[in-house]
Structure 1
Amino acid sequence: MDIVDRKILMELQQNAKQNTKEIATKVGLTVTPTYERIKKLEQNGLVKKYVALLDRNLIGKHIIAYCQITLYKHQKELIDVFKKSILGLPEVMECHHVSGNFDFLIKVAVEDMNQFQEFINERLSVVEGISTIHSSFVMNSYKNTTVFPL
């Protein structure tokens, strides 16, 4: 990956809806080599997929919570059950296996506190192996990006 590839990746992160001609102009190439580089970046797995980022408030997801989850035993079978269960919960936007005082950190998006309570009581706390769940709620966001610095 050279400097031009990095520029292309930055452009795609900023606006994946740009056409190849627009990207080519910004990175200083013609259309064909730019197109070929983008295809190569996709084939090599650097570009996983293209998505639309939604305004969470306009779609009614007013509550964002981060839950720190500790399993009662750090055992492969329980970790596998937890991971499989989390994949089936659409409210969970992110799940990270972490080091430190807890085992997993998840990001949850719901409409309101009632929906969060239902999520915790009916869906998350019934997952086998969970010992504790500590939740923190986003009061305000000052930086929220999907762009990786290159």
Structure 2
Amino acid sequence: MKQNRNHQQQGFTLIELMIVVAIIGVLSAIAIPAYQNYVKKSEAATGLATARSLLTNIDMAIQDTGTFPNDLKMVGATSSMNPLGELALTRSASAGTGTLTFTFKDKSTIKGAAFTLTKRYTGWECSFANNGATITQDELPKTCR
């Protein structure tokens, strides 16, 4: 006499597991490069925001002293106020002009790249040098492309 047993599935088959692994592999192949681009964009925006946060202080120092400051302490900043990079001020030969540069350092995915904000008599101008870093124009903030 045969007994009729109901066999319930006790787990996943090997094929089902392989399909799940393949789906995860395809998703990660798409997600990892997108995440890396997102990190580059956010680091670039952070570096530019750090530099731009000092523009009003620099303008006030120029108004008070008549010359572009040559020391970050004069504008309430330090060269290492952002862990992604370093700030530097450079005074030009003209009294009220100079540059503020943010250079990305080792902790950044765009190491070596730099934003330069230049004070002219007509206002501030932004420029970017990638200096070997792999970053495209589309990954830069729109205010400095």
TM-score range, shorter chain: under 0.3
Q: Whose relative contact order is higher, 1 or 2, with alpha carbons under 8 Å and at least 6 apart?
A: 1
TM normalised by structure 2 equals 0.26
Higher Cα radius of gyration? 2
